[in-house]
């Protein structure tokens, strides 16, 4: 989709130099549920194109804007434009339009992640000659299936625009640097038996009973905490679903246990798969889904100077984020953004104005 034919709605003007918390509110007010990011992307593209120090490229509803100051290092500041759907519970404040309660801003995307996008835009407008070259990346469809990801599309179609030494994803971290992320892998374990009337159970074989050792091994498993590049990644191994049996008088002939292993970024998905296959040796395991984790890489020069500028002890990130996509491209990356990740997607999504301002201040300090 090109800019010209992207929608019928009139273009919305964004003032990138206003207070970054007010800018956050303005971004929330342009609803951008996944798949419907064009109005917001149009407004951002138009605002960025007024800035002479930026080279702007649009791809669908993703926008890449880069400084070309000839600095020794280039960093990426990345954020997604989309949000999850609006709350369905009447009276929820985590919706559109935004609203204020004292100095706290409520609205869909307040934490995930229009505060972070506002910080990106404020830097784009107010730091025209940063100490490191910056590539600003805004993208669509982060909250939906991985194959729709706007960042994934940029990696496939415009990879040359994403060359960088370090990446910061402005996902909510309460203003602390969160490095890397755990990987995730899922399996279905299937046990099989032989159906029979439960009055003559000995004519059958019970597939649910056959799953007993799977649950026992999972329940007894002691997940590791693995130190990677100085951060401690806490792993977990869980049955997330179980299903078996057809009727109250039939010996069940099939049972399925779904298992999710969240593994530290010292392991590849293949190594994580080996851990699960060793734990559940002897069972029929089907791997249904996996995503690599990302090492924090905080010992490289750019991340190290960034952590020093933020001035707070970095933490490991547990949930999978697009940091892993940058990491796969060989770009060390961290999460750093305003707001509490636990409020993301909630009916009550909100962010403190000061947190958005503090996040901006830390980045400006580092980049000036």
Short-list 351, 337, 338, CA closest to 104: 351
Shortest approach of its own copies to residue 107 CB, angstroms?
A: 22
Cβ 254 to its own copies shortest distance, Å: 11
Minimum distance between the CB of residue 235 and its own copies, rounded to whole angstroms?
9
Q: How many CB atoms lie within 10 A of CB 119?
A: 30
Q: Which is nearer to its own copies, 166 or 318 (CB)?
A: 318
Torsion angle (degrees, nearest 10) of CA 25, 61, 85, 357? -30
Nearer to its own copies by Cβ, of 131 and 348: the residue is 348
Which of 2/200 has CB closer to its own copies? 200
Residue 11 is given by DSSP the state: P
Burial of 86 (0-12, 13-18, 19+ CB in 10 A): middle
Residues labelled catalytic = 82, 142
Cis-peptide into 284, omega within 30 deg? no
Instruction: Report the residue number, 186 or 190, with the smaller CB distance to its own copies.
Output: 186
Give the residues lining the site for its own copies (CB under 8 A).
182, 184, 186, 197-202, 206, 208-213, 215-216, 218-219, 223, 234, 236, 238-252, 255, 257-258, 260, 262, 289, 318-320
From the number of C-beta atoms within 10 Å of its C-beta (0-12, 13-18, 19+), residue 44 rates as buried
Structure tokens that stand for 43 in this block:
């407004």
Extended beta strands in the chain, E state: 54-59, 62-67, 74-80, 99-101, 104-106, 133-139, 166-169, 178-179, 183-192, 225-228, 231-234, 236-244, 254-263, 284-291, 315-316, 333-335, 350-352
Q: Residue 255 CB, nearest distance to its own copies (Å)?
A: 7
Structure tokens at 143: 């909250």
Q: Which two tokens stand for residue 242?
A: 């179980």
Smallest gap from Cβ 170 to its own copies, in A, equals 19
| Cα–Cα distance for residue pair 320/284, rounded to 1 Å | 27
Considering the complex, state which of residue 152 and residue 319 has its C-beta at the smaller distance from its own copies: 319
Q: Which is nearer to its own copies, 257 or 359 (CB)?
A: 257
User: Which residues, 6+ apart, have CB-to-CB distance to 337 below 8 Å?
Assistant: 79, 113, 115, 116, 119, 169, 170, 171, 172, 173, 175, 359
């Amino acid at each position: 989709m090109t800019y010209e034919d992207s929608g019928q709605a009139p273009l919305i003007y964004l003032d990138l130099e206003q207070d970054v918390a007010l800018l956050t509110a303005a971004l929330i007010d342009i609803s951008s549920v996944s798949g419907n990011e064009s109005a917001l992307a149009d407004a951002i593209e138009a605002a960025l194109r007024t800035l002479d120090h930026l080279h702007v490229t649009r791809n669908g509803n993703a926008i890449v804007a880069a400084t070309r100051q000839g600095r020794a290092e280039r960093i990426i500041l990345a954020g997604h434009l989309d949000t999850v759907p609006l709350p369905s519970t009447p009276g929820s404040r985590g919706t559109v339009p935004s609203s204020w309660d004292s100095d706290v801003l409520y609205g869909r995307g307040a934490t995930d992640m229009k505060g972070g996008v506002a910080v990106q835009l404020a830097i784009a407008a107010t730091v025209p000659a940063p100490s490191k070259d910056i590539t600003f990346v805004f993208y669509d469809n982060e909250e939906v299936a991985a194959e729709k990801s706007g960042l994934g599309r940029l990696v496939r179609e415009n990879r040359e625009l994403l060359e960088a030494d370090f990446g910061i994803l402005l996902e909510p971290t309460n203003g602390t640097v969160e490095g890397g992320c755990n990987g995730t892998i899922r399996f279905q374990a299937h046990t099989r038996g032989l159906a029979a009337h439960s009055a003559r159970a000995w004519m059958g074989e019970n597939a649910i009973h056959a799953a007993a050792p799977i649950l026992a091994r999972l329940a007894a498993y002691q997940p590791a905490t693995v130190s990677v590049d100085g951060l401690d990644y806490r792993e977990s191994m869980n049955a997330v679903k179980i299903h078996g049996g057809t009727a109250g008088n039939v010996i069940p002939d099939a049972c399925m246990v779904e298992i999710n292993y969240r593994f530290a970024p010292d392991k590849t998905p293949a190594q994580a798969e080996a851990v699960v296959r060793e734990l559940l040796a002897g069972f029929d395991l089907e791997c249904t889904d996996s995503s690599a984790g990302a090492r924090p890489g905080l010992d490289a020069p750019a991340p190290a100077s960034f952590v020093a500028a933020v001035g707070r002890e970095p933490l490991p990130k547990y949930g999978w984020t697009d940091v892993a996509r940058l990491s796969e491209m060989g770009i060390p990356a961290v999460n750093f953004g305003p707001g509490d990740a636990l409020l993301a997607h909630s009916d009550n999504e909100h962010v403190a104005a000061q947190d958005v301002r503090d996040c901006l201040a830390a980045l400006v300090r580092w980049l000036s």
